[in-house]
Amino acid sequence: MLRIVRTAEGVRADPTGKLAGRGAYLHDKRSCWERGIKGALAHALKTELSNEDRARLEEFMNTLPEAESDGSAM
């Protein structure tokens, strides 16, 4: 799980889990982040995501794996 935090400077990923501010958690899969950015994340953080917030979160999201491995490739 990765923490996303609302700070005075905006919404950002918090890989350390130590930034001050209202936080929410998403799985470390791109599909979860795509759904979160569409609305659930803003609701959880009790804020509106600005264009800058979305761009910052999407940039971080693009570093995440596409899908979870199902373990069948052995």
pLDDT tens for 13-54 read 999 999 999 999 999 999 999 999 999 999 999 999 999 999
Q: What is the CATH number of the domain that holds 28?
A: 3.30.1230.10
pLDDT at residue number 67: 66
In a domain, 39, yes or no: yes
User: CB of 49 within 8 A of CB of 37?
Assistant: yes
pLDDT band at 74 (very low <50, low <70, confident <90, very high): very low
Two structure tokens written together for 7: 């700070």
Q: How far apart are CA 37 and CA 69, in angstroms?
A: 22
Residue 74 domain flag: no
Structural domain contains residue 11: yes
Is 69 within the bounds of a domain?
no
The answer to the question of residue 16 being in a domain is: yes
The total of structural domains in the chain comes to 1
Domain boundaries, position 16: 2-61
Q: How far apart are the first and last CA of the chain?
A: 25
Tokens linked to 44? 């959880």
Q: What three-state secondary structure class fits 60?
A: helix
Q: What is the pTM assigned to this prediction?
A: 0.81
What is the reported pLDDT for 72? 45
**Around Cβ 22, how many Cβ atoms within 10 Å?**
13
**Considering the domain boundaries, does residue 70 fall inside one?**
no
* Residue 47 placed within a domain: yes
